[in-house]
Chains A and B, each alone.
Chain A
Amino acid sequence: MKIVRDLLDRVEPLFREGGRFRLFRPIYAAGAAILLSPLDRTRAAPHVRDPLDVKRYMSLVIIALLPCMAASVYFFGLRVLAMVLVSYAAGGAVEVLFAIVRKDDVNEGFLVTGLLFPLVLPPSTPFWMVAVGVVFGVLVGKELFGGTGRNLFNPALVGRVFLALAYPRAMSSSWGIPGSGLFGHVTQFSVDAVSGATPLAAAKSGGLVPLWDLFFGSVSGSAGETSAAAVLLGGAFLLLVGVASWRTVAATLGAFAVMTFALHGGSPMMTLWHLLAGGILFGAFFMATDPVSSPLTKAGRWSYGIIIGVAAALIRNLTGYVEGVMFAILLGNVFAPILDEIFVTARVRRLREEG
């Protein structure tokens, strides 16, 4: 620790006002913040006893994503790791550029966006496409709205939708075949990309993948979403530490289940199958619960989840699209601020009437 502190102290003057690298102060600040806890503390009361800040918050999400990471490397090979690196490098560059222009700090929020983004892409996505997508997501989805905390939409999903609309062929027709056995595809770099079908696409033409494969994850699909077991593990962790709102998750999955149940003539098997297939679990736990783009009020979270769940089920079952979770969550994001507004106003009015 001491060595790190000394090193940071030694280079610090270079980044100060008048120093040689003063323009790049955000990079120094970000490095220092990741390595050590910040030195400036609040001196005057009131002190909040909970040490949960943005950095801790985002670190917990990254820990929760580790099972999904591990599963996707197991099934699709080391290429997924390279996609994560590309995503961090390209998106991080945009982030740093904006921090320099704004003379502001690089925000930890990007660490989550940069990891979530490659996990919702097909594992055979070309690297340049990963870079284009994450740059668009961070630039248009976040920075143009004013940076972390002010974005209306989930930046990772903005990038994902951008790629889906811009390069529909690469984004929907070539899927990697999952590995199997003790080491899966861990030992190989490239993905066995084929013009195959995901379980959901196969289901549209009548073929159902066994439930166990969906749960374990040995099916084709986006890199991080195939293994329901890994998503549930990470998701349970997020709920336990209180980072993800259980209300949002419960409302999303509940509404999705009810809607699917109704659309499939009341078949519990099909409901379970659809819950495990595609991106609904991953979306519900990791995307819908994004603290910035989801509502803050309890009632708002319930309604927001219901909107997402119902929309996802409707798009998946009744339209030409195979999967609708990303559209559903972005739709939910649109309603998030207005839902908060409605419920806060209603509560204020009720309190005022009571006296």
Chain B
Amino acid sequence: MARADKQACATCGKGVCDGKGVVTFKDGVWHINPVAVQVLGICSALAVTNRLENSLVMGAALIFVTVGSNLFVSLLRNITPRRIRMIAEVAIIATFVIVFDQVLKAYYWEMSKQLGPYVGLIITNCIVMGRAEAFALSNRPMVSMVDGLANGLGYAAVLAIIGFFRELIGTGGLFGHQLLSEAWYTPNQLAVLAPGAFIALGFLIAIFNAISGANREEGSQR
């Protein structure tokens, strides 16, 4: 987390980022995109992205949790004893995760079954914990919410892109509807298998870094 912390503050000034909502937002979605740049939250990004629908719901879940947890961690930051702050953060995060999980179970049972344990596992997602530690703990509530929203969106966008390509290539359709005719398109079943997720994510990170210039090695040519 140390690196993300440093990068975030390098872009928004001297340590504290109050009043710089736009900078914070751009950072979360683009400059320090949690998946493409920091390579966090990979487990769920690989596991649920075999279908676009799953990816979108998972992205929504993460946005909900990061926004909520960042807000409350920030609100409570001045009365949280430093030594037990991690436990406090986890308790707050877990609350939001359980709320989302229960809603999903109550109204979208099929989707809940599809996502399996991965909604519950958001509690241990490094992105949520990382934002609480690196940002919400030292910033005001509103800008912390912006940070949570931006990071959630950054994660959701990456998942949506991977889900889009994996479902389209792997089944020839989207949202379960056949788009590419079986007559001339043979679904590439590797795309919906686990190795396909690794390959897709690898390509996405490579393309993202080539465009944004993030993670460039020292002394590389461009």
The reply on A66 being an interface residue by CB < 8 A is no
A166 touches B199 (CB 8 A): no
Of residues 177 through 193 on chain B, the ones whose CB sits less than 8 Å from some CB of chain A are 186, 188-191, 193
- Closest residue of chain B to A140, judged by CB? B199
What mask results when residues 156 to 192 of chain A are scored 1 for a CB within 8 Å of chain B, else 0? 0000001001111010000000000000000000000
| Complex interface: chain A residues within 8 A of B195 (CB) | 165
CB 8 Å contact bits of A115-157 with B (1 = contact, 0 = none): 0000000000000010000000000100000000000000000
- Residue of A140, A162, A165, A170 near B186 (CB, 8 A) is A170
* Docked pose: A168 CA to B190 CA in angstroms: 9
Chain B neighbourhood of A140, CB < 8 A: 199
CB–CB B189/A165 < 8 A: yes
The chain B residue sitting closest to A132, CB to CB, is: B188
Please count how many residues in chain B sit with their CB below 8 Å of the partner chain's CB atoms: 8
Neighbour of B191 across the interface among A166, A168, A170, CB < 8 A: A166
Contact B199 A167 (CB under 8 A): no
Looking across the interface, which residue of chain A has its beta carbon closest to that of B186? A167
Residues of B within 8 A of A166 (CB): 188-191
**Which residues of the other chain, A, contact B199 by a CB distance below 8 angstroms?**
140
Contacts of A168 in B (CB 8 A): 189
Interface centre among B186, B193, B199 (most CB of A within 10 A): B186
- Name the interface residues of B150-198: CB closer than 8 Å to any CB of A: 186, 188-191, 193, 195
In the complex, chain B residues whose CB is within 8 Å of the CB of A165 = 189-190, 193, 195
B131 to chain A, nearest CB (A): 32
Interchain CA distance A140-B190 in the complex, whole Å: 14
Residues of B contacting A170 in the complex (Cβ-Cβ under 8 angstroms):
186
| B186 / chain A contacts, CB cutoff of 8 Å | 129, 167, 170
Q: Which residues of B contact A162 (CB under 8 A)?
A: 190
- How far is A67 from B193 in the complex, measured between Cα atoms in Å? 37
- Alpha-carbon gap, A9 to B4, bound state (A): 56
**CB closest chain-A residue, reference B191:** A166
CB closest residue in chain A, given B169? A166
Q: How far is the CA of A140 from the CA of B199 in the complex (A)?
A: 9
Q: How far is the CA of A167 from the CA of B188 in the complex (A)?
A: 6
- Type the 1/0 row for B79-119, where 1 means its CB is closer than 8 Å to any CB of A: 00000000000000000000000000000000000000000
Convert B60-93 into 0s and 1s, putting 1 for each residue whose CB lies closer than 8 angstroms to a CB of A.
0000000000000000000000000000000000
Q: How far is the CA of A140 from the CA of B198 in the complex (A)?
A: 12
For the complex of A and B, list the 6 residue pairs with the smallest distance between their C-beta atoms, beginning with the closest.
A166-B190, A166-B188, A165-B190, A166-B189, A167-B186, A165-B193
Q: List 14 A-B contacts (CB under 8 A).
A: A129-B186, A140-B199, A162-B190, A165-B189, A165-B190, A165-B193, A165-B195, A166-B188, A166-B189, A166-B191, A167-B186, A167-B188, A167-B189, A168-B189
